[in-house]
Amino acid sequence: MRSTDPFGAMTGPLDASVGTLFKAYDVRGTVPDELTPEIAYRIGRGVVAFLGADTVVVGRDMRLSGPALAAALIDGIRDQGADAVDIGLVSTDTLYFAVGKYGYPAGVMITASHNPANYNGFKICREGARALSIDSGIAEIRDMVVSGRIPAPTGDRRGNLQQRAVMDAYAEHALGSIDPDKIKSLRIAVDAGNGMAGELVPRVFRDLPCEIIPLYFELDGTFPNHDANPIEPENIHDLRRAVIERECDLGVAFDGDADRMFLIDERGDFIGGDMTTAMVALELLKQHPGAAIVYNLICSRSVPEVIEEHGGRPIRSRVGHSFIKATMREEDAIFGGEHSGHFYFRDNWYADSGMIAMLTVLQLLSTADQALSEVLGPIDTRVRSGEINSEVDDVDAAMRRVEESFSEQGAEIDHLDGLTVGFDGWWFNLRSSNTQPLLRLNVEAETTETLRSKSEEVLQLVRQP
């Protein structure tokens, strides 16, 4: 028999502000003031109702609010008549693996990724590890949750609950993406940020010849050492120092749910996600000559150049996993990479995996028998600004002003994603934020002086009163 609704949650609508928790690619907010067990319960019911799923896999990261949210979510799934498979503490890529490998029709990962400790949220996917976005299900689930109008279960049966361990199977799957016999005895500093990489990395490296220097492998959702957001310089300070002091071949930093990954070379220098994309592409093209590889348009011009030089077919995409994955499926691409540290693999159900990307780079380094900086030297020949955010009163007016100015200068212009302006020696992309009155600028140039002067030129136009 079905249990009594533990929250009285279906008796009426929630405050409309709850709708703001539902983002472009996930559900996310602060706990307990924004995201509550009642909302989690409704999401569980909404996922089953929208997808028509008879089974939903549920995983969570190490955040302190995870167990309560997981329990409520599972109650909602079961009360809606579906079975729940609890895979416990896992990385997000492990959740995607479980859905893809075992043929489950849906999965929910409870995580707030790289956000601070007081956040949590839900990443939702359907069969084949296809992640839901606001355009492919999140909006519909949002409307059910906020209104309280969730379709009644089709029968009287309450779903069952099963526990299943999958981390070791995922580690084996990740290792299957490379030839372990090619991996040399590299010394690698790994900063797990007290996140799920602390559980995953030891399993993956159990039988590899590498020496792992662990930083913050203890699971701790309070993030006592630093936020698990490796794209921020202050959060990789300890890793850079460890690489230099311990004379490591490289360093690796994961975010909280361990799906994103960034590299540090043997000199302690940070490597952007686009350069990692280029290295993964270089290695994969050895095994898949002529294959298509997708990259987002924020990536360096060096990325398509490397792909072409090594016989691949580079395909440019909008920013965001839904666009990358759709393009990969359309083009049968073996790999897709983003500057943000997300890496997608055809043989991983098109889902992202920082772990597979890292292992692929290790194989590249091992077979090249070169330092990481030496492998990157011929590839990383330009300088980049990183993302520069500007708050503006009128986003559309600022975009028009910039486009008109550079059109008059004879620039190559396209609108695949925001505004991309290209010249022979430099280029930039200007995109608006989905949630704030912000414009995000990324500039790349051949020289530091050009980068500085052209960044200032664009910013003057953007920030003009």
> Which residues does the annotation mark as catalytic?
113
* Tokens at 120, concatenated: 């949590």
* Tokens at 254, concatenated: 């994961």
Q: Which residues pair with 107 in a beta bridge?
A: 57, 125
SS percent in the chain: helix, strand, coil, step 5 = 40, 20, 40
Give me the residue label for tokens 């010849």. Answer: 209
Name the nearest CA neighbour of 111 among 90, 127, 132.
90
Helix (H) or strand (E) holding 359: helix 354-368
Instruction: Label residues 176-210 b or e (16+ Cβ within 10 Å = b).
Output: ebbeeeebeebbbbbbbbbbbbbbbbebbbeebeb
Identity of residue 311: G
Give the ranges where 380-431 is alpha helix by DSSP (H): 395-408
Residues 181, 26 contacting (CB under 8 angstroms): no
d(CA 303, CA 157): 53
CA distances from 25 to 31, 122, 139, 220, 323 (A): 19, 9, 10, 25, 11
Torsion sign over Cα 14, 20, 21, 23: positive
Residues 32, 65 contacting (CB under 8 angstroms): yes
Q: Is 152 exposed, middle or buried (0-12, 13-18, 19+ CB in 10 A)?
A: exposed
* Dihedral angle over CA of 236, 241, 246, 252, nearest 10: 10
Give the ranges where 58-210 is alpha helix by DSSP (H): 66-79, 92-102, 139-147, 167-175, 197-204
Displacement of CA 351 from its chain's centroid (Å): 9
Residue 415: how many other CB atoms lie within 10 Å: 9
d(CA 413, CA 415): 7
Displacement of CA 400 from its chain's centroid (Å): 31
Identity of residue 263: L
